[in-house]
Structure formats: C-alpha cells, structure tokens
Structure 1
C-alpha cells in the first residue's frame, strides 16, 4: 500500500483551521481592504491609502457658499513578515493528520499567531478614549457593568456603528468582570457560560462578543503631575520633522502637537489626556457635548518637554463659532488651559478594550507560490488570513524543513471608535 504522505496543502489548511480557534482579537478585526493588495495585473505595492468618510457642514438659507471637498485617508502598510520553521523526516510526514497536527502544526501555529497578535495589540495603544471605574478619591476600581455601559455610550457618541462591537479583556480582568456581573443576566446560556466556563459570553450589554487575550497590553502611567498648561499654540504632528506618510506605532496622519509649558514628569505613549475648555462634539451635527475631549498621546514625552503629540487632530470651529468640515472639538486650546492625564501618576493598568470592528483593520498578502527548488508549497486563505507553507530539502543534515509564513499589516482607522477600560494591576 502506498504511503499517505501529508502534503503542504493539507498542512496549510489544517494550520488555518487551528488559527481560527487560537485568537479572537485577530478574528474580530476588519479585513475589508485585503483584496486590494497583490492583485494580478493591478499590484499597488505595500501601501494602500484607505479613504475616510467625507465630512460636510450644513448651511442655512437659499444662498450657498460652495466648499471644496477635502478627502482624507489613512495609509495601510504591509510592513510585517513572520515565519515559523519546522524540520520533519519523511516518516513524521506519513503520520495521520490528527497526530501530525497535534505534535507539530498546533505548536507552530500557536507561536506564529501569538507573535502576530502581539503586533496587533499595538493598535490598543492608539485608542483615543478611556472610561474607568473610580471611587470618590480617584482610586481605580475593577470595571463594573456601568463602566462598560459608559464605554458603549462613548462609542455611540463618537458615531461608531451600533453593531459588531467587541470587548477584549486581559485574563485577570475577565475574571474580575465575570465575578462582578455573574448571574445579573437573564439568558440562561449566558449565565451557564459565566458559571461553568468562567468567562463572559456574547451579546451582553450591547457587545457582540467578549473574549480574553493574554496579550492585552499592560502599561504604566508616567510621572506627569497634570499641571502643565497650553500656550494656545498647536499644529500638525510630524515625527522627526518629516511629513507623516504611514500609520505606525508612533504617528497618525491625522494628529496634532500641543505646545505647553514644560512638563513636570513623563507622559507615556498611549496615555489619555484632556485639555481644559476643549470639549468633544457630535461629529455629525458639530454641536458640543460639553464633555472634555480625550486625546491619546502618540509618543513618549520626557519630563521638561514643551510639546505633546496627540490624536485625534485638534480641529476647532471658525473664529466666529461656525462649524468646519472634520471638526473634532468645540474650541481651540486657550493659553493657560491645564493639561490633565486621566490615569494617576505611576499607575500600572491592564488596557482592556471595547471597540468597533471598523476601528481597526488587518490585511495579509498572498506570498508567491514557489515551484522551483522546493519539495512542496501550499497556500490558502481562511477568514481573510492568508498563509503559505513551503518545504525544502536541507542537504547538510538530510532533513526536510517546512516553514509557515505570513505577510501582513495593521491600521488604526478610527482611534475614537476604541475605548480603553483600565483595571489596576495590584
């Protein structure tokens, strides 16, 4: 009887099936722009400029004052390549798929997906909103149901779509949330999941799915004393003096830099700050919501610094108060306005996240199928994730080496459609 060898097509498909059950955060990201890359006859390279919705201002009366449409976009860059190499003998590749999958494919895929997930989690550091549970003295408490409802309200206030909202929790935060809300929900299947599996379910508090992820970021607030004041000046943030052309860990193409008096203490990247007198608005009606606009700090700020890079960009109304396209706040920072950091000095927190599916996007690219000089090559796509496996012969030790490769990129399209819900690490 002929040997039933496991080929690379089988390995690739099995690896993708394992990946589907490995990381809920990656599964929740939008992949709607993936098809734009590596199209036969129309390749666009490694960067796609994702257009944001156009924004207009409603005018009164019969007379119109036409305004030019200013389109805005955020570049999505394919900038990451990860691989896992594995060495097999022919005998090992003759095993049945269950044994082969458990012994070899699953550990490799778990390592690969974890590494990709860690890269993706950097997007959490670009979320521009925060809702936390505190006592009257300002001490951070574990998130309650009211905390999550306020975070959901924050998304709605920022005009995020009502559906496809997800909550990603650190495992310890998940334990706190389940403990605090166990039994408060009527659906018996949800109560069963909480009590039997010890984790949150789906479709609770207006959130489509709750899941835990051990790669959720843990960050420490800086030592800033929240006493620096704005000078009234602000401008477009250009890291290292160069125009922003790609979205990265340290920059967003729609961001600002606030000029301030020298800071006493450091502000860490990912910190959320407010500016006295600068309130958030309804992005559609341009009416003030009379709540301080929150900004995420895009780069580490050293003690004594006189500028702070933030997102979203500061776009105030005209001097006479009339609204403008892409307006983000009800007023520009005034000289003397106090800059406050939301987290207490030095606080170490788990950065749980409530977000809209369309806040972030991921794209993987089909790597070339190699036929010459290799033993076998396979490529497949599942749930928008493309994976290639390639086997080649290593004559130096008479083995066959199989490598799993993924080429991908991430983009934070709407920082305001993601809300950090912190829990103190104690």
Structure 2
C-alpha cells in the first residue's frame, strides 16, 4: 500500500478558501451550543445546573467514542470525489437539520420530557458532526505535503473560523433577545442551522479541485490502528495539549452568558465579550501564521498559549473592575486563541504525514478521529466543569432567568471564567514542551 501522494506546490487560493469555509459549520456548531445551551437549560427550561451539565456533556462523550470510527470509515471510503468529500455533504446537511431541532422543543408541560428532547436532538447533532468533522480535518494531510503550506491552509481555516465564531456568537444572543422567550431560542436555532448549511455546501464545492492523492488505509482492525496511533509520542503530546486547552476554552464559552448577565449585569455584554474575543483572533491569524514560519510552529504555539492564559487570568477582576477591563482581558484571550487554533491544526497533519511516510500506509482518518474525539471531549467537559462550579457556588436555576444569585454564585462564575481556564492553559504547556517534530523532519 502506498502513502498519500500530495503536492509540495502552493495550493490555489480558491482551494484554501473553499477548504476554510468548512469552518463556518464547525465554528457555528462548536460555539453556539457552548454559549447558549447551558443557559437555555437552566434559565429557560428550569433544569438544575448539574443535570443541565450532564445533558451538555453526554452527546459529546458519545462523539469521543464515535470519532475514531468515523475516521476509520472515511479512510476506507471509495468514491470518485475522494474518501472525505462525500461525508462533508451527507453528514453536514444532517447536522444542520438536527441543530435546529435542539432548540425547537415544544411546550410539553414536563421538564423531564423537554430535557429528553434536547438530549436526543443533541445526540443526533453529535453523530452527524463526527462524520463531518473527522473527514474535514483529515483532508490537509492529503492535500499537501508541505510543512509551511499546511500553516497557510490553516490560516484561512482559522480566519474563517474566527469570523464565524464572531458572527454566530455575537448574533445568537441578539436573535434570542430580540424575539424573546423560548421562541427566541427556536428562531436562533433555525438561523444558525442555515449558517451551518452554508459552510457545508461551501466546503464541498470549494474542495472539488483540491489534490487528493492515493489514499491507502492502514491494515488491521480499528483497535490495531488506534494502538499504533497511541504509540506516536509527538501526536500524543500535541493532542493532550490541545484537549486541555479545549477544556479551558469550553469553560470560558459556557461562562460568557453568566458573566454578562449576572456579574456585569448586562445582556448586551455577551455580544461585546464575543466581539472582544473574536475580533483580535480574526485580525491576527495571518500574523500568527507569519510568526510560525519565522520561529516555528511549536514556539508560536507556546507564545499564543501564554497570551490566552494571561488574558483569562486578568478577567478575575470582573466583580470589582470596570467592564472595560473585562473586555480588554477577553481581547487578550482572543489574541492567544488565534494562535492556539492555527498552530495545533497545522501540526496535526504534520504528525499524520510523518506516520504515512514512515509506514507507507495512511491513517489520517484515524489520527483525526482521535484528535476530534479529544477536542470534543475537552469542549464537552468545559460546560460540564463550569456547571459543576456553578453548582458548588449554589447557582439558582429558573424558568425565566430573572432571579437574584448569591455572592457565592457570582464568585463561582468569575473563577470558572478566569482562573480555571488560565490554570488549565498553563498546565497544557508541560505536554507541548515534549513535542519534537519540526520542519526538517516533516519535509524530509
């Protein structure tokens, strides 16, 4: 079996943009549930915080199991369009429909029934997302064999991701508040579903001229493949770093609405926080890419992680400092977040390509399946951990969100949004320090 035949030449801009447009789908799905689902459950359906955290976590835990399977299936897919692209369309459109259903629960007169609706719809979403995201993330390792070209490809992806996070994260609360009540959530869900569908179709059409190469799936069972991937030390260290940082990001996303409404006492602050978070990421993604080409991806990843941790730590003053200080801190998080997306996403296909060159077989789907499983786990644990922090702070759930919270709950919100993510990000750097792949080895 032969490894993927990928070109070292620069990819056309149309292919870079086309591939990057898939981040419209991943950005909307990755952002809106993390931002809106926990408040929807606690403050609209009246579900206790700890139960709501479980509902948010369980579908993502299912993805952890499913993602490697999706990767293995896409590795073995035979289609004239390539092994990955058909899954973009099939799973992506299914994801769009299922997403709208999450927030479309009818009035059932039972919190248990309504919670079950959300859980089932979110499980359907998570399943479709696995079969979209895993093939999507696997594509760069097969589109180019160039160390630097993968960074440039990821620059477009992360720039579009940052724009989508800003668009979805800033407009979702506005749509909800403009319509009001549960109907606001329903309308918001439909609008976000249409955004997801736009990204799906864009990525499918935009990659139709992308290099694919000869994809030869590795032999053996999925368990055999996972065992081999687990022995890849550099991949393992990179994955651990990214998962811990996904957990940190998940905590911050889950805390935005609570910080805005309960601590800053302003519903509109949620939109401002998102603009402050994503604006720098949108503007500075090309700068991080240039920095990576100059000093290397690993050092760039370290520096961006320090920006993220520093901004999160500064937000601890949210209860006493002016709102402008909190917005500034969130902006610093955004500066770091851009790099913390560009670099690991560019380093992942390096690890998969090195493995393919060494072994002569392609495990890109399995690598990305494990990767997205880890990312999903981190982002899922984030809201769950934040919900646990809320419960420890005696946060009080309601059906209309209009209830005074005790000081302990306000403190829990701030700590869950600031100190906890900062500590997690710094902790992740221990594993990043053990990553050793560089341009000389990847381009060998």
Which category describes the TM-score, using the shorter chain as reference length? under 0.3
TM-score (normalised: structure 2): 0.24
Normalized per residue, the structure richer in strand is 1
- Larger RCO, structures 1/2 (Cα 8 Å, 6+ apart): 2
TM-score (normalised: structure 1): 0.24
Normalized per residue, the structure richer in helix is 2
Structure with greater Cα Rg: 1
